[in-house]
Amino acid sequence: MPIEHYLTDDQDPKTAEKILGKLRDMLTSGEAVTYLAIQKKPALTLIPDCIAVTNKRIVFCMPENLGLTTSYKTFTWAEIKEVSFKEEFFGSKFMAIPQRGENIAIDFIPKVQARKLYQFCNEQLEKLKTFPRSEEKISAFENENLGDDYASYIEVVEQKITASNEPQTVETEDELTQKLHKLKSLYEKQLISQDEYENKKAEILNRL
């Protein structure tokens, strides 16, 4: 990760080299640093705060314990509601407003760097609006399929109900028809009287 690319707006080379070296181990697959802003206080600062912008997130790097440790606060672009900056007498105060939680700000960012930082951040936020997160696409896709699946489920259930009812209806009708044919055969062979035939016939027809 050559640091020359990140020294276009008077960033401190030594600080940039240290921060970029640490960020190298934090980057995920396909992630790249697009801009680096470095704090510049009027008084001498051992290790200044920094703000790094990647194509996936924004990283606030804040050294602690005289530079022996560093606190990193990272937000994916989906977690950022908006960014803003305010130009002051010495540099600018840059602020990120997350969707949830407290705002985070670093002051004494050189004015040119703050403007560039604001520009790069908003470019990433605009890309997020243009190309929604993959999980949102998946969620929308699942919701669409849910409707299709539900309709298919209803159709299958209706078919099952119809299928289960039809055999019973057909079976009942066949059975009654057979009884009627048998009854008529008995009457034609004069094995039963006409009254018996009519009464039995009426009884069978009432079952339909």
When pLDDT is averaged across residues 193-208 and rounded to a whole number, the result is: 81
CB contact at 8 A, 39 and 109 = yes
Closest CA to 9 of 34, 38, 32: 38
Specify which residues 64 forms β-bridges with.
Answer: 69
Q: What is the pTM of this model?
A: 0.62
**What's the pLDDT score for residue 205?**
81
Q: Where are the beta strands (DSSP E) in 16-79?
A: 33-38, 50-54, 57-64, 69-76
When pLDDT is averaged across residues 94-98 and rounded to a whole number, the result is: 97
CA dist list (Å): 23 to 6, 18, 48, 137: 13, 9, 15, 29
How far is the C-alpha of 197 from the C-alpha of 144, rounded, in Å?
A: 62
Q: For residue range 156-188, list pLDDT tens digits in order.
A: 444 544 555 545 544 466 787 888 888 888 878
How far is the C-alpha of 104 from the C-alpha of 88, rounded, in Å?
A: 17
Torsion of CA 176, 181, 186, 192, to 10 degrees: 50
Q: For residue range 127-138, list pLDDT tens digits in order.
A: 988 876 544 444
- How many CB atoms are located within 10 Å of the residue 186 CB? 14
Residues 62, 118, 84, 77, CA torsion sign:
negative
136: left (phi over 0), alpha (psi -120 to 50) or beta: alpha
CB contact at 8 A, 20 and 3 = yes
Closest CA to 86 of 75, 95, 77: 95
**What's the pLDDT score for residue 139?**
45
- Sheet with 57-64: strands ordered across: 33-38, 50-54, 57-64, 69-76
Q: In one letter, which amino acid is 127?
A: K
Structural domains of the chain in order of their starting residue, each with its CATH number = 3-131 (2.30.29.30), 138-205 (no CATH)
**What's the pLDDT score for residue 150?**
42
